[in-house]
Structure 1
């Protein structure tokens, strides 16, 4: 009997150790479960941010992480080049506007130069999709005219991207992708009329 009791006591001790191990295993399972849930949340957040990035970058060649980041970096570099080019253009135009009477003479010369070379003011609008248009504007090179154009378009709720400006024989050629700031549908004919009205007023 004593031996049996000792055996049972020993068993009880072993049982207590076993229960402790079971409790530890339960903690490990719970800990792993929390880690899995945190990892799921992290992956979901990353996925959502990648989708947001994809919606902002017009050219995504593949949906894997490395390609999305590479395409986004390329797009940012292109935007920076455009910003630098536009900044230089604005500085040049602002500098010419500070010349007073000379700037006015230059503007008159620009108009005459355009006419002498058979270049006429023009507005062309082509649809890319229902939310984006490609515009090409030919106007005389006048001080601060591009800045005024941007301001008027912004007031009307439009944004320009991928913009390039070229000046030649008194004329300024502006090429750009145009879209509504709120993503509304754009019609080429109505946009052309609007641009012509804006250009007359600046």
Structure 2
């Protein structure tokens, strides 16, 4: 009677659970746990690799493809961009600063074309092709408040990116030198870009 009861309860001989069975179950659990961890780690590494590739594509100069170098080069690039933004902002403030005479400032803005003509400075737009994706532009226009800002905003809306930009105010005129690229990397034609710049300048 006792033998029958023990035999019905136990999975092993004489109704007892063998040590081997317990060890097999533990091994299965450990294997599943390790497998899940490996899969999670694989997904994490894949995501990190994709993010690094994205960062690599946004930074024009990467000296090495290891993780630390990519991040260092990205930081350097961002710092340089911040310096360029500050330099352009300072130039913009200097170019568009009102005269000390106050009310006379609006009159001066109206008379800048006459001042340019009196000093022998003529409005001009020149566009030179550097390569199929990059142009060099030179613009001379009468100096007016906020005109440079409006020009940048309009070019940005039209899908252009300006780099290596300098702005100089002289004799009632504003000289703008810059490198222009298409925001989407499309091909740029000098003649078409010049026509577009002339239209933009008329409207600002």
Same fold (TM over 0.5): yes
TM-score tier, shorter chain, comes to: 0.7 to 0.9
TM (norm. structure 2) is 0.74
Q: How many residues align?
A: 192
Partners of 1:114 and 1:170 within 8 A in 2? no
Q: 1:114 to 1:85 in 2, by over 3 A?
A: farther
Residue aligned with 1:96, SS = coil
Aligned residues of 1:123 and 1:192 also touching (Cα < 8 A): yes
Matches within 5 A, 1:72-83: 72-83=74-85
The structure-2 alpha-carbon separation of the partners of 1:167 and 1:80, relative to structure 1 and needing over 3 Å to count, comes to: same
Partner of 1:44: 46
- Counterpart CA distance in 2 for 1:150 and 1:43 is 40
| Alignment map for 1:177-192 (pairs within 5 Å) | 177-192=179-194
Answer 1 or 2: which has greater helix percent.
Answer: 1
What SS is found at the alignment partner of 2:63? coil
Flag structure 2 segments of 5+ consecutive residues without an equivalent. 1-11
Contact 2:95 2:168 in 1 (8 A): no
Instruction: Report the aligned-residue RMSD.
Output: 3.2
Shift of 1:170: 4.3
Written as runs of structure 1 = structure 2, the 5 A alignment for 1:129-144 is 129-144=131-146
Distance in 1 (CA, whole Å) between partners of 2:82 and 2:192 is 31
TM-score (normalizing by structure 1): 0.75
Q: Within 2, Cα distance between the matches of 1:27 and 1:130?
A: 61
